[in-house]
Chains A and B, each alone.
Chain A
Amino acid sequence: MAQLTLDEVTKTFQDDDGEIIAVDEVSVDIEDGEFLCVVGPSGCGKSTTLRMIAGLEDITRGEIRLDGQIINDQPPARRNVAMVFQSYALYPHMTVRENMAFGLEESTDMPDDEINERVEQACRDMDIFELIDRKPGELSGGQQQRVALGRAIVRDPEVFLMDEPLANLDAKLKAEMRTELQELQQDLDVTTVYVTHDQTEAMTMSDRIAILNDGVLQQCATPLECYHEPNNLFVAGFIGEPSMNFFPTTLEGSTLRGEWFEYELSDETVAEVEGTTDITLGIRPEDIEFVQTDTGPNVFDSTVNVVEPRGNENTAHLQFDETMDDQFIATVGGMKQLKAGQRVKVRFPENAIHLFDTASGEAIRNRTLDEIETVESVV
């Protein structure tokens, strides 16, 4: 059980062309028992951050503290962290039992029978007891993954570090393991830092998400905050699948003038964006409404270009002008049928739009959350 603090952690590499900043002053407080996902595109510094916490990578500047103790210069073994690697990194010449016992043998002076007991218990917890005397080469990918997790939990560490542990599994197994990992983390209540490039994993599993881009922390908040109240254009575009639609516009009076449409803002909204003229309008695909008539402002004509049915919903690729390259995406319920080539009217409701400063990318106004409902419990 531990609180992990990253305080302006920076990592630079020397290159022929000079200094490359891999991680730039990242500060995050990870509470005891919290599940934090670090996401970002490849090369954003998320794995480097994790490796610095593990002690596999030197920290150029800043501090990493575990329960208030600075651990910058502690060797990996002394930090009491356990890591699960993307490749599982099992020892191929050892049985499952030996793989899991190795860490305890090396880092503690626990007697053999106690080690054995703990390994067997962890195997039962991970549902791999019948595989205990097999070698990794004789196991499937999913089983190897369980052994890798078992090897981490048997150490009973203060912090779990996971580097894309599900990346090598097929889609169905991935979804299963996602749930299982979440349950496991809740049961053990161990502080966990989980690195992934998959925003779905981050959204579904974590207590909070830290989004990195180019080594800079963009936002660290709960999944729903990141989704509904992104700090900037990057977060808005990265979280959510399909991505948010963006339209560059300029503000003239109370009108956002885009290349293909003019959007009327209410007085309150105009007051909020006061002082910025270059504004990017963002709207999530599911917030775009299909309407029959020009009811009220901000209804635009467009053409359906491609429809991707997914069963539960349909993803429609739309265009304002068929001759131009101006596609945007809207999703509708699976029971609503659309055809390619169809002319439709779409409405961008004002309470669902996000406005960003085009120059800095910062969010000026996020959607309102008046419509959020909670499912009441039954007694």
Chain B
Amino acid sequence: MSIRGGNFIDELRSTENSRIGLYALLLAGIAFYLFPVETAVMTMFKTESAFARTLPFAPPGADGFTLDALSTAWNTLRPGLINSLLMAIPATIMSALLGSLTAYGLTTISWRGQVGVVVLIIAGIFIPYQAVLVPLSQFWFRVFPGLAEGFINTLFGFITGGSWQYPSRNGYVQLLQLSVTHAAYGIPICTLLFRSYYQSISEEMIEAARLDGASAFSIYRNIILPLSLPMFAVTLIYQFTQVYNDLLFALVLINEPASQVATQRLAALTGGVVQSFNTTMAGAIVAALPTLLVYIVFGEQFAKGVAGE
């Protein structure tokens, strides 16, 4: 910076100008991202006729305001939302936990054939959902029930004297199977995320823990796990969004109406012959609420994890 007064003022002014420019750009960015959301929220509170009369982003006005669309969407989606949460929360936690354990085993513990396993896991990320649909349904509809029946009937048959039968594929069993499928399918990407994070953890620290007498599991439990909390936030958000938004696996694995998940319900809500934009928008907003909540809850940790702190 120059010591001449005039220059100093000029510089100050130009900093101010660039600051104004920056804020203008940021505000434009906010408007650009929030505009569709605002439009959706406005549409959700409009009657059909108000929607036809007003601009999409304009507020409904007193005569065009209604909660009907929202309540229809809510009533249709509610059972689906509960099912989705029942299915997605355990699936997310399981794949994050298993991914973290796998990554730990592949980075800080050394054993023969590690590279092969890493290659298989990375390959697992790239298997498209469509490619596994047939084997997946075969497994859950035929192979697994056969195995389970054989095992459980034998076991319980022995205990109860033959009066007990394996229950049919009812609603909750279907949800559980969908959950397990998602958990398994999420392991590769979670492993990869955790692995790159664990590779950055100081090797000397792990060695110090070994010299301190900690077992492999104790090192995981006391050192690695507490240090991976930011990474857990990243995988939880990513994996939850992924599982929650999936429709394909749900369509294949769930055929009981009572155990349909939110995405299936949303499809039913919007898939009618007559398009009613207000219920569609209300449905979209309601269905998006859980993911929004997850982002808000884990946001700070997520930022830390992404920044690699």
Contact of A89 among B204, B214, B226, B227 (CB under 8 A): B204
- Known A83-B207, A89-B208; further 11 A-B contacts with Cβ < 8 A: A55-B211, A76-B211, A77-B210, A81-B211, A85-B208, A87-B202, A91-B208, A91-B209, A102-B212, A103-B211, A151-B208
User: Please, how many angstroms separate the alpha-carbon atoms of A148 and B274 in the complex?
Assistant: 71
Q: Does A60 contact B (CB under 8 A)?
A: no
Which chain A residues numbered 99 to 118 have a C-beta less than 8 Å away from chain B? Answer: 102-103, 106-108
Q: Does A43 contact B (CB under 8 A)?
A: no
Smallest Cβ distance from A90 to chain B, in angstroms? 7
Contact present for A89 and B202 (CB under 8 Å): yes
Contact present for B204 and A102 (CB under 8 Å): no
Which chain B residues numbered 192 to 212 have a C-beta less than 8 Å away from chain A? Answer: 202, 204-205, 207-212
Q: Does A279 contact B (CB under 8 A)?
A: no
Contact of B205 among A56, A89, A108, A155 (CB under 8 A): A89
B160-186 CB mask vs A (1 if < 8 Å, else 0) is 000000000000000000000000000
Given A91-B223, A93-B227, A102-B222, is A76 in contact with B210 using a C-beta cutoff of 8 Å?
A: yes
Given A86-B204, A87-B204, A106-B218, is A93 in contact with B209 using a C-beta cutoff of 8 Å?
A: no
10 shortest interchain CB distances as A-B pairs:
A107-B213, A103-B212, A77-B213, A89-B204, A89-B208, A106-B213, A89-B205, A85-B204, A106-B214, A93-B226
A33-69 CB mask vs B (1 if < 8 Å, else 0) is 0000000000000000000001110000000000000
User: Please, how many angstroms separate the alpha-carbon atoms of A226 and B222 in the complex?
Assistant: 45
Contact present for B212 and A107 (CB under 8 Å): yes
Contact of B214 among A85, A86, A102 (CB under 8 A): A102
Contact of A82 among B209, B211, B227 (CB under 8 A): B211
Smallest Cβ distance from A270 to chain B, in angstroms? 54
Closest partner residue, chain A, to B208 (CB atom): A89
What A residues does B204 contact at CB under 8 A?
A: 85-87, 89
Contact present for B211 and A83 (CB under 8 Å): yes
Q: Does A92 contact B (CB under 8 A)?
A: yes
Q: Identify whether the interface residues of B are mostly helix, strand, loop, or mixed.
A: helix
Contact present for B212 and A77 (CB under 8 Å): yes
Contact present for A77 and B211 (CB under 8 Å): yes
Total interface residues on A, CB under 8 Å, equals: 24
B interface, how many residues as a size bin? 10 to 19
Q: Identify whether the interface residues of A are mostly helix, strand, loop, or mixed.
A: loop
User: Please, how many angstroms separate the alpha-carbon atoms of A103 and B218 in the complex?
Assistant: 11
User: Please, how many angstroms separate the alpha-carbon atoms of A70 and B212 in the complex?
Assistant: 20
B262-283 CB mask vs A (1 if < 8 Å, else 0) is 0000000000000000000000
User: Please, how many angstroms separate the alpha-carbon atoms of A89 and B207 in the complex?
Assistant: 8
Smallest Cβ distance from B278 to chain A, in angstroms? 50
What A residues does B222 contact at CB under 8 A?
A: 102
What B residues does A91 contact at CB under 8 A?
A: 205, 208-209, 223
**Most chain A beta-carbon contacts within 10 A, residue among B204, B205, B213, B218:** B213
Closest partner residue, chain A, to B213 (CB atom): A107
What B residues does A106 contact at CB under 8 A?
A: 209, 212-215, 218
**Most chain A beta-carbon contacts within 10 A, residue among B205, B215, B226, B227:** B205
Contact of A54 among B211, B213, B215 (CB under 8 A): B211
Smallest Cβ distance from A57 to chain B, in angstroms? 10
Contact of A92 among B207, B210, B213, B227 (CB under 8 A): B227
Smallest Cβ distance from A93 to chain B, in angstroms? 5
User: Please, how many angstroms separate the alpha-carbon atoms of A333 and B202 in the complex?
Assistant: 47
Smallest Cβ distance from B306 to chain A, in angstroms? 19
User: Please, how many angstroms separate the alpha-carbon atoms of A122 and B26 in the complex?
Assistant: 54
B102-119 CB mask vs A (1 if < 8 Å, else 0) is 000000000000000000
Closest partner residue, chain A, to B226 (CB atom): A93
Closest partner residue, chain B, to A57 (CB atom): B207
Smallest Cβ distance from B269 to chain A, in angstroms? 46
List 10 A-B residue pairs with CB atoms under 8 Å apart, sorted by A's residue number.
Answer: A76-B207, A76-B211, A82-B211, A86-B204, A90-B205, A91-B205, A92-B227, A102-B209, A102-B212, A106-B214
What B residues does A81 contact at CB under 8 A?
A: 211
What B residues does A76 contact at CB under 8 A?
A: 207, 210-211
Smallest Cβ distance from B230 to chain A, in angstroms? 11
Smallest Cβ distance from B88 to chain A, in angstroms? 29
Contact of A103 among B207, B213, B215, B226 (CB under 8 A): B213
**Most chain B beta-carbon contacts within 10 A, residue among A54, A89, A103:** A89
User: Please, how many angstroms separate the alpha-carbon atoms of A141 and B199 in the complex?
Assistant: 24
User: Please, how many angstroms separate the alpha-carbon atoms of A54 and B215 in the complex?
Assistant: 16
User: Please, how many angstroms separate the alpha-carbon atoms of A155 and B227 in the complex?
Assistant: 24
User: Please, how many angstroms separate the alpha-carbon atoms of A90 and B202 in the complex?
Assistant: 10
User: Please, how many angstroms separate the alpha-carbon atoms of A54 and B205 in the complex?
Assistant: 14
A155-179 CB mask vs B (1 if < 8 Å, else 0) is 1000000000000000000000000
Contact present for B218 and A56 (CB under 8 Å): no
User: Please, how many angstroms separate the alpha-carbon atoms of A75 and B219 in the complex?
Assistant: 15
What A residues does B215 contact at CB under 8 A?
A: 106
User: Please, how many angstroms separate the alpha-carbon atoms of A204 and B222 in the complex?
Assistant: 39
User: Please, how many angstroms separate the alpha-carbon atoms of A87 and B203 in the complex?
Assistant: 10
What A residues does B208 contact at CB under 8 A?
A: 83, 85, 89-91, 151
